[in-house]
Amino acid sequence: MKDLTTGPEGRLIWNFTVPMLIGNVFQQSYNVIDSVIVGRAIGKSALAAVGASFPILFLLVALIIGVTMGFSILISQYYGAKDMAKVRRAIDTSYIFLFFASLAATVIGMSASEPILRFLKTPQEIMPQAVTFLRIMFAGILFLFGYNSITAVLRGLGDSKTPLYFLIVSTILNVILVMLFVLVFKWGIAGSAWATVLAQSVSFIMGVVYLNRTHPVLNFRLKGLQFDRKIFRKSLAIGLPTGIQQVMVAAGMMALSRIVNGFGTDAIAAFTAAGRVDTFAVMPAMNLSAAISTFVGQNIGAGRMDRVKHGLKAALMISGVISLSTTLAIILFGWHLISMFSSDPAVIAIGTRYLFIVGGFYLVFSSMFIITGALRGAGDAFIPMLITILALWMIRIPVSVWLSARLGTDGIWWGVPIAWTVGLLLSGAYYRTGRWKRKGIVRVPLSASIDSEGEEAEWNVSKF
């Protein structure tokens, strides 16, 4: 457990971010290796099938993952206030919720995969492989949710290093298994899916063992779990808007996939390959956003608004340097990155154009994501949800539809940075209003709630 309420803000945020970033690099490295093996060994139709499946998988788990984020933020605020009894009850409540949620996601996912794929106009040539991939992934969704619940608990307590160790082991195992199942056993796309499920199950089991051998507050047990309805409602107040936002993002991805699918297998394969590279590029911003959420949550719980402001500025500076460096790398090496996934000239050309268009706006994306992360850490998830939905459904999708009819696939890609720009402007404007200061869940003494300008802060009143 790590206390983020004392010490240099920038250094704390960076040190908290690095383990998550390394872990995601390992995880996405597996995704890249998996896509390279699938694209090269099985073919571009298999690569396209994986890409067509992802938005559906993301849609059905997004709401649950969003609620998990609510638990993480609430745990961080209770921990910042040093209320360990509520930390324990929040952890128990998250375990119970995620168990039943994972069962529901499995049933819905396995039964609805094929109808949703058909609704998205998935080409018939990749339909059987996409259905197979999705059903296997949903069969193992319990392990994904279990691992994410343990990770959310640890990060809420300021520990981003331990999940990294689990993830490194899981990623290495994942790579070994996909090479074995696809290249040796010749199981095709099913081998890729089973490798992921087995690796996720190992991560979850490692997490359970760790929790049972460390602090009593973290003990993972089946007997004696307590479901706290009040804590659950508070978690929903934070997590549900984030979950709905994630669902709308996932639905937007599905709508975008429907547009891309209309341009054929080459476009789908290129979109999948470029998406793998794009994930690496935006990863630092997403990890910094998660770090600033925990940082803000703990400092709000401790009544330190001055540290919240300084922490946000530090996170924006760090992300700015990383984003500009990433943009330069994408411009210089975009073609080579896409060619790793496929030797098909059409796939490489379309994917490279995506990176050139989207890659120039990573600074915009990172700034937007970090500001919304700070808002969520303060317990204000509703407005970021509205901003995301507006930028996605009123800007990105309509612009992509309109421009794709005139510019082809380039028009689809231009919808992305245009939506990011609108999202940043709206998020920044809302942050400057200061209304998010009133959203703190944890009650702290008035005397402790003084901001950097010596004014009494208004966010110290319990929301419930």
Each residue's pLDDT, cut to its tens digit, for the chain (464 residues) gives 566 767 788 888 888 888 878 877 776 776 777 778 887 788 878 888 888 887 788 777 777 777 777 787 788 778 877 888 888 888 888 888 888 988 998 998 899 889 988 888 888 888 999 999 999 999 998 898 888 788 878 877 777 788 878 888 888 898 899 899 988 998 989 999 999 899 989 988 888 888 878 766 667 666 778 888 988 888 888 777 777 777 777 777 778 888 988 888 889 888 888 888 888 888 888 888 888 888 888 888 777 788 888 889 999 999 899 999 999 999 888 898 888 888 888 989 999 999 999 988 999 999 998 998 888 888 777 888 888 888 888 898 999 999 999 999 999 999 999 999 999 999 999 988 888 777 655 544 433 433 333 333 332 322 22
Per the rule left: phi > 0, alpha: psi between -120 and 50, beta: everything else, 362 is alpha
Question: Torsion angle, CA of 231/235/238/240, rounded to 10 degrees?
Answer: -140
Question: Torsion angle, CA of 105/109/115/117, rounded to 10 degrees?
Answer: 120
AA identity, residue 403 = L
AA identity, residue 29 = S
AA identity, residue 370 = I
pLDDT at residue 361, rounded to an integer: 93
pLDDT at residue 303, rounded to an integer: 77
pLDDT at residue 215, rounded to an integer: 66
- Return the structure tokens found at 67: 């609620």
Contact (Cβ atoms closer than 8 angstroms) between residue 203 and residue 144: no
Rounded to whole angstroms, the Cα distance separating 52 from 221 reads: 38
- Return the structure tokens found at 320: 């700015």
- Return the structure tokens found at 259: 């547009």
AA identity, residue 439 = K
What backbone torsions phi and psi does residue 226 show, to the nearest 5 degrees? -115, 125
Q: In Å, how far from its chain's centre is CA 160?
A: 15
pLDDT at residue 439, rounded to an integer: 61
Report the sign of the C-alpha dihedral through residues 112, 200, 148, 52, in that order: negative
Q: Which of 201, 202, 200, 178 is nearest to 191 (CA)?
A: 178
pLDDT at residue 458, rounded to an integer: 32
AA identity, residue 85 = A
- Return the structure tokens found at 147: 């691992």
Contact (Cβ atoms closer than 8 angstroms) between residue 73 and residue 375: no
Map the chain to HEC letters.
CCCCCCCCHHHHHHHHHHHHHHHHHHHHHHHHHHHHHHHHHHCHHHHHHHHHHHHHHHHHHHHHHHHHHHHHHHHHHHHHCCCHHHHHHHHHHHHHHHHHHHHHHHHHHHHHHHHHHHHCCCCHHHHHHHHHHHHHHHHCHHHHHHHHHHHHHHHHCCCCHHHHHHHHHHHHHHHHHHHHHHHHCCCCHHHHHHHHHHHHHHHHHHHHHHHHCCCHHHCCCCCCCCCCHHHHHHHHHHHHHHHHHHHHHHHHHHHHHHHHHCCCHHHHHHHHHHHHHHHHHHHHHHHHHHHHHHHHHHHHHCCCHHHHHHHHHHHHHHHHHHHHHHHHHHHHHHHHHHHCCCCCHHHHHHHHHHHHHHHCCHHHHHHHHHHHHHHHHCCCCHHHHHHHHHHHHHHHHHHHHHHHHHHCHHHHHHHHHHHHHHHHHHHHHHHHHCHHHHCCCCCCCHHHCECCCCCECCCCCCCC
Longest dimension (CA), the chain: 67
pLDDT at residue 457, rounded to an integer: 34
